[in-house]
Amino acid sequence: MYTKGLFLSNIHFSFAEIIQPPHSMVIAQVCLRLATIKGHSKMCSFTVLGGPGGPKTSQYLMGEIADPVQLKEEGNKHFQAGEIDKAIECYTKAIKFSKDKKALAVIYRNRSACFLKKENYNNAVSDATKAIDVDAADIKALYRRCQALEKLGKLDMAFKDVQRCATLEPKNKTFLETLRRLGAEIQLKLKTTFSTDSRVQNMFDILFADESDKEKQEKAANNLIVLAREDAGAERIFQNNGVPLLVQLIDTGKPDMILAAIRTLSGMCTGHRARATAVTHTVGISKLCSIMAVDNEEIVLATANMLQCVYDSLSGGDKRNYGKEEALVLDSSKDLKDILLALLEMITSKKVSGHGRDQALNLLSKNVPRKDKKNTDNTKALFTIDHGLKKILKVCGQVPDLPDQLPLTENTQLIASVLLNKVYDDLRCDPERDNFRDICDEYIKSKFDPNDMDKNIHAINTLSGLLQGPFDVGNVLAGRQGVMEMMVALCGSEREVDQLVAVEALIHASTKTSKASFFISNGVTLLKDMYKKTKNEKIKIRALVGLCKLGSAGGDDYSMRQFAEGSTEKLAKQCRKWLCNPTLDVRTRKWAIEGLAYLTNDADVKDDFVDDEAAMRAMFELTQTILYAVACTLVNCTNSYDKKEIIPEMVQLAKFSKQHVPEQHPKDKKDFIVRRVKKILKAGVTSALTVMVKADNYVLTDQTKEMLARVFLALADDIKDRGTIVAQGGGKALIPLALEGTDKGKIKASHALAKIAAVSNPEIAFPGERIYEVVRPLVSLLNTERDGLENFEALLGLTNLAALNDKLRVKILKEKALPEIENYMFEEHDQIRQAATECMCNLVCCKEVQDRYLEDGNDKLKLLILLCGEDDVQLQRAAAGALAMLTAAQKKLYCGRTMWLEIIQRLCIHDNPEIQHRGLVTVFNMLDADEQLAKKLIECELLEILTFVAKLEDNPKKQDAINAARACLSRALDSGLIKPFSN
């Protein structure tokens, strides 16, 4: 007796006797079903004994026989039916079970055809190659590989394949045509390549020539930069020994040559890991950092941009698609780590200029924190803390007025604080934060020295940096023993620099009562004493700002005044006085704006400030150096901050329970706000805002962008002011605010854009290519989460854009706005519904929209005709316009139902001449579209209406409708639907 077992996981099925076909197949299928029910292996095998040829082993896959021939046939059927994904699935299964090499080659060849259809050219090449490996004369596989290689840009390899095909079938016209075409393309490519190579060499010759014309050198440098920005050009420069030559240009020491070389290297490194690796190894990271250390702002910015390009390419941060295939290089982690270490070394080197230090800090801010908090890998932040936290703290603690300090710019310490904040925010757990705080604590303690006042003010200045960055850390360290005593000592010092550092630390600490209780309880007295006693204007104004911060703790709540009646107005008056004093240094005047940023929470201060045009203009002159404070002041003056809705019932409930109820200042009512906005506009605020939007990214934070967007929205509230905003460049300035920043800021900026686009000529408000950038912000407002006014004004703006040209209409469709607009056409709110229908009226000029109305099984046309029957005149006008344009563009539209004809008849006798004209144009289009429909139209009462309108006397107001009616009768007459009366 012969026994053969079937093993499925821990189940063993045994056949105790020889089972002959066909029963063996039935039993095997039963065993498979049992195994499937039990949830065991997806694939089973069994042996059929007896029969011709002896025992045979077969396989089952998920209840189906895994026969490669059958699977191949199924794949062929799917391919012929256009079901490419299913065909690939069948061929893949067939490959898995096929043992015959020739059959396997055919399956690979077929799957290659599928990959060609899917435009997956790498896989198509791979499968075709496997087929060719079995049969070198497989003409189908050769041609398919040729097609895929051509798409991948490998023309020489594709040419060889089609050449082999033409050898095998010399009379095949397709092969001969492809051979001719590829030959011509290869010749053109070679010609272009040799031409580019000669151009590159010629440019370098001009740049290195000692007596070359300066104008020629500038032109050669610019050409090299432009060439490097294209992947093909960058590769030619790289292949022609470009990197060593560019290093020689840098070594000339000439600023123009250095700038040209750095910008060319940036183009070569962008999006290409292999070239970026070669550049870092050839030039050297230390050399690049030494270039960025020079005291030339233009070279520093160019080098920083190049380092960012290198970092993006090595880390995979540049997601753009460059070239036909990805570069294969070794792990870049060491190079990335070396760049971070070099930047950390730069920030404390005395050889580095202030601009170079700023850019080193900026590069760390961009690349150290995680881009996505969902990513759990924060090793770069931990690495920065271990190797550079003390260095960043050292930069924060620098006091420019002392000797032997690092070169700094006005923004260096603020940028360092921003970096500290970003690194701290990137930490994931309490132990990591505790370590951060302990290092800061240890650093500040190490600087305290009773015998060295310079070290003490360095420690206090470092604390100021932490209070501007990770405030929680700074606030904890401010409460440490000895810190307050040191503050008192510095405030009482005779040196101006000591007092300045101390008072600035007090200002930064006085942020919120709930968070800075220690400093507020101990620092107020110091601030008051310094303000009253000191005669130094620099110290006096800083002490004043600290008091301003404390005085504004209640926000715009009129009942929460911190100081006596009139005190805030006096403080603000003094701030305005300092602001308008040109003899004071810029840093001191900036502090005056800081004070106003807090004091303008008070409506009395707002009113006084907007009446002082000189103070406003003085503030606008300083916008580039102190964006945040200026933005805060403008938000306060325009009342564009978020306001909690006051519900009367809740107010009564709060009073009953003896809870505090916020009170609105009488001067914060609508009339006063409108007056302030007019005053600010008159002072030239729009020009100032456009300048602020163009500021460097490290100064223009997302929070600042949001505040600028709020101000723009407040300024654009009155339709009469929007022309002024456009004339001063406000339309262009709003676009970047609507595309980048916080979610709330982008919505505010988009709404301001919608207000402008709704009433202005978009071609004037957003000149050139900017007009296309406006579409996305407007579409983002078509959302149920946005309020009705945002929806309405966005639809109006899109209506204006859609009226301009077909390119804009296509852009609106690409942003997937059409479904949203269609939904709003049936909104309950009359104005929103009307605006959406008007927008659709302009969009129906686009063929894609017309095709949507022609799709089988939808009621879009029916719904549009129903809108023509609504009572709202404006809605009728828009819907009738859309219908007239649809019937003109698409002759196959069927509008023959009785109810629809009644609606069209009502349009033709409408009191409004525009609606009547659109209805008659629709009738003319329908008469021209279909003979049966035309006959049905003439048989109903419409003929009487057309006759009546056509017989009316000429009237300028109704002439379009009269002419349309006459044209309809003329068309019916020509078609033989009606006949003229005989004499």
Residue type, 910: H
The DSSP output letter for 33 is H
Q: How far apart are CA 416 and CA 389, in angstroms?
A: 10
Percent of the chain whose predicted confidence (pLDDT) is above 70: 82
Please determine, for residue 750, whether its predicted confidence score (pLDDT) is greater than 80. yes
Check: CB of residue 109 under 8 Å from CB of residue 129: no
Please, which pLDDT band fits residue 597 given cuts at 50, 70 and 90? Answer: confident
Confidence of residue 342 (pLDDT cuts 50, 70, 90): very high
Nearest-10 Cα torsion for 797, 802, 805, 811: 90
Least confident of 188-197, 339-348, 788-797: 188-197
Q: Are 325 and 380 in contact (CB under 8 A)?
A: no
Mean pLDDT of the chain: 80
pLDDT at site 659: 62
pLDDT at res. 352: 94
Residue closest to 127 by CA, chosen among 105, 149, 146:
105
Residue 21 scores a pLDDT above 60: no
User: Which has the minimum average pLDDT: 272-281, 389-398, 798-807, 898-907?
Assistant: 898-907
Least Cα distance to 462 among 482, 480, 452, 447 occurs for: 447
Residue-wise pLDDT tens digits, 469-518: 888 898 888 878 778 778 778 877 788 888 888 888 877 776 544 444 55
pLDDT band at 562 (very low <50, low <70, confident <90, very high): very low
Contact 500, 493 (CB under 8 A): no
Q: What is the pLDDT of residue 45?
A: 45
CA-based torsion, 788, 793, 794, 800: positive or negative: positive
CATH 1.25.10.10 domain locations along the chain:
685-845
Average pLDDT over residues 762-769: 86
Cβ-contact 128, 114 below 8 angstroms: no
Q: Which of 158-172, 423-437, 574-588 has the lowest mean pLDDT?
A: 574-588
What is the spatial distance between Cα 720 and Cα 761, in angstroms, rounded to a whole number?
A: 14
Q: How far apart are CA 594 and CA 543, in angstroms?
A: 11
Helix ranges restricted to H, 580-684: 586-599, 603-611, 613-621, 627-638, 648-656, 670-682
Q: Which two tokens stand for residue 870?
A: 């609504």
Residue 426 is predicted with a pLDDT of 92
CA distance 227 to 223: 6
Q: Over the stretch 414-470, which tens digit does the pLDDT of each residue have?
A: 899 989 999 999 999 999 999 999 999 999 999 888 888 888 899 999 998 998 888
* 468's tokens: 């501007």
> Higher confidence at residue 25 or residue 252?
252
Fold for 685-845, please state it. Answer: Leucine-rich Repeat Variant (1.25.10)
Residues 6 or more apart in contact with residue 849 via CB below 8 angstroms: 809, 813, 818, 840, 843
Inter-CA distances, 96 with 43, 74, 125, 436, Å: 12, 15, 19, 55
Check pLDDT > 90 for residue 938.
no
- Residue 734 or 203, more confident: 734
Whether the CB-CB separation of 759 and 799 falls below 8 Å is answered with no
d(CA 270, CA 229): 8
Q: Tokens standing for 51?
A: 């029969």
Nearest alpha carbon to residue 336 among 283, 273, 396: 273
Q: What is the mean pLDDT of residues 933-952?
A: 82
Rounded Cα gap, residues 839 and 713, in angstroms = 23
The answer to whether the beta carbons of residues 933 and 894 sit under 8 Å apart is yes
What's the token pair of residue 493? 């010092």
Lowest mean pLDDT among 171-175, 211-215, 856-860, 908-912: 211-215
Per-residue pLDDT, 401: 85
Q: What angle do CA 817, 822, 825 make, to 5 degrees?
A: 130
Distance CA 584, CA 143 (A): 79
How high is the pLDDT of residue 339? 93
Look at 344-353, 372-381, 658-667 and tell me which has the smallest mean pLDDT: 658-667
Which amino acid belongs to residue 138?
A: D
Q: How confident is the model at residue 195 (pLDDT cuts 50, 70, 90)?
A: low
Q: What is the pLDDT of residue 895?
A: 54
Contact 335, 280 (CB under 8 A): yes
- 276-304 confidence digits (pLDDT tens): 888 888 888 999 999 999 999 899 999 99
Which is more confidently placed, 544 or 62? 544
4 beta partners: 15
- Min mean pLDDT across 40-54, 658-672, 806-820 is at 40-54
In this prediction, residues 29-52 reach a mean pLDDT of: 43
- Could you tell me the pLDDT band of residue 589, with boundaries at 50, 70 and 90? confident
- Mean pLDDT on 909-927: 86
The CA distance from 291 to 353, in Å, is 10
So what's the pLDDT on residue 776?
Answer: 92
How far, rounded to the nearest angstrom, does the alpha carbon of residue 254 sit from its chain's CA centroid?
38
pLDDT reading at 8 higher than 60: no
Q: Is the pLDDT of residue 6 over 50?
A: no
Provide the 8-state DSSP code for 666. G
Instruction: Pinpoint the residues of the chain covered by CATH 1.25.40.10.
Output: 68-191
Does residue 819 have a cis bond before it (omega within 30 degrees)? no
C-alpha angle 577-582-587 in degrees, rounded to nearest 5: 85
Pick from 163, 138, 139, 137: which is nearest to 150 by CA?
163
Q: List the one residue out of 974, 971, 982, 983 whose CA is nearest residue 942.
A: 971
Range from 276-290, 691-705, 747-761, 829-843 carrying the lowest mean pLDDT: 691-705
Query: Would strands 43-48 and 11-15 be described as parallel, antiparallel, or unpaired?
Result: unpaired
- The pLDDT score that the predictor gives to residue 645 is 61
**Residues 138, 105: contact at Cβ < 8 Å?**
yes
In 506-584, beta strands by DSSP E: none
Per-residue pLDDT at 663? 63
Comparison of pLDDT for 18 and 254, the residue scoring more: 254
Residue-wise pLDDT tens digits, 609-634: 889 989 999 898 888 778 888 888 99
Element (H, E) at 65: strand 64-65
Contact by Cβ (8 Å): 599, 578: no
Q: What would the mean pLDDT of 860-870 be, rounded to a whole number?
A: 82
pLDDT higher than 90, residue 145? yes
Superfamily of domain 68-191: Tetratricopeptide repeat domain (1.25.40.10)
What is the C-alpha to C-alpha distance for residues 509 and 345, in angstroms, rounded to an integer?
30
Could you tell me which residues come within 8 angstroms of residue 11 by beta carbon, excluding any fewer than 6 positions away?
A: 34, 35, 38, 40
pLDDT, tens digit, 9 for 90 and up, residues 86-103: 999 999 988 888 888 888
Q: Name the residue with tokens 């006949």.
A: 979
Q: Residue 814: is its pLDDT beyond 70? A: yes
For residue 566, give every residue at least 6 positions away whose Cβ sits within 8 Å of its Cβ, in sequence order, or none.
Answer: none
- The answer to whether 300 touches 262, Cβ cutoff 8 Å, is no
**Token digits for 739?**
């595309």
State the Cα–Cα distance between residues 15 and 606, nearest whole angstrom: 96
Q: How many CA atoms lie within 13 A of 308 on its CB side?
A: 16
pLDDT of residue 191 exceeding 80, the answer is no
SS (H, E, C) 235-302: HHHHHCCHHHHHHHHHHCCCHHHHHHHHHHHHHHHCCCHHHHHHHHHHHCHHHHHHHHCCCCHHHHHH
pLDDT for 518 equals 52
Residue 428, token pair as written in the block: 């994931």
Instruction: Give the CA distances from residue 780 to residues 185, 795, 806, 819, 823, in Å, rounded to whole numbers and listed in that order.
Output: 44, 11, 21, 13, 15
List pLDDT tens digits, range 516-558.
Answer: 455 555 666 777 777 777 777 778 877 877 777 765 544 444 3
Average pLDDT over residues 350-376: 90
